[in-house]
Structure 1
Amino acid sequence: MPAAAPPIAPAADHRLTAFGRRIHERRKALKVSATTAAEAAGVSRMTLHRIERGEPSVTMGAYMNAIAALGLDVDVIASTQATAPVPVSGGIRVTDYPQLRRLGWQLAPDTELTPEEAWGTYERNWRHVDASALDTRERALLEKLARALGKRPLHV
């Protein structure tokens, strides 16, 4: 059962509802099912629906995971409106690695990830990776990332 919603000011309630609506609109625009988006965000489908309704009892972490899973970004200080993601320069290009591209389906094709973001994407979604389809270059990337970040290698 969800936690009781904390009391919030009417203006904050309005913003949270608009925020949830923006998340829902983005998911629909991407033609992504609630189940798929929820899995990518690491939350239940019901939690995703609560986020899309702007419920205040959902943790901020869950909201942020949903935002990231749908390729959105938010500047909490400047605005409560979600904006399009800005590619990270000098990083790992998603399109250069087929399995990473599959895992990052919601990202713009020219998106570049930092080593930490790329590793996190592989690690969180490893169950969706077809290890037999990893080419030599992508295997080398995984090994290099594990060494550089001091992580245990994924089962490659």
Structure 2
Amino acid sequence: MGNIQASDPVPAAAPSPQGRCPQRLQAIGRRIRGRRRQLGISAMATAAAAGMSRVTLHRIETGAASVTLGALMNVLDALDLSFGQLEGAEDLGAQAAITTRAEAIELAAYPLLQQLAWHVQGTGTLSPAEAAGLYARQRRRLDQEELQPQERQLIALLTHAIPEPDVPA
């Protein structure tokens, strides 16, 4: 057995989460648990599908910082979630509340909405409810690939905040 040299890699202890990280980890865990419950899948079945113990899944769902990225990715795959869906879901409700309190949505900022509102004369704005209604009525024709990120976010906020109107088939 040799002595450890200064150039030998020594595994460092895992850093403690700092700042907002603990809250973000907990929010991610809540999102994962919510998705699992939404799908009606038990913790045991999810853990088995992800190739881990139920305890590890519990640690992920409670926001423990010590779980591996690989374990997290296995759970996401088992629940058909993308990494990008994890954060921001907690803030969606607050953003949606702000959006629906807005008096008007500027059409010029949202190219697709501007096209959908071709019949609106004399104003460059719509109420959040009017915008949500237009998007809902035209949802089959929306090409998500062509939407700009800010318009995609507006649709998500409006969908979250405003109940979908009855749309004739």
In which range does the TM-score fall when normalised by the shorter chain? 0.3 to 0.5
Specify which structure has the bigger relative contact order, considering alpha-carbon pairs within 8 angstroms and separated by 6 or more residues: 2
TM-score (norm 1): 0.45
Larger radius of gyration: 2
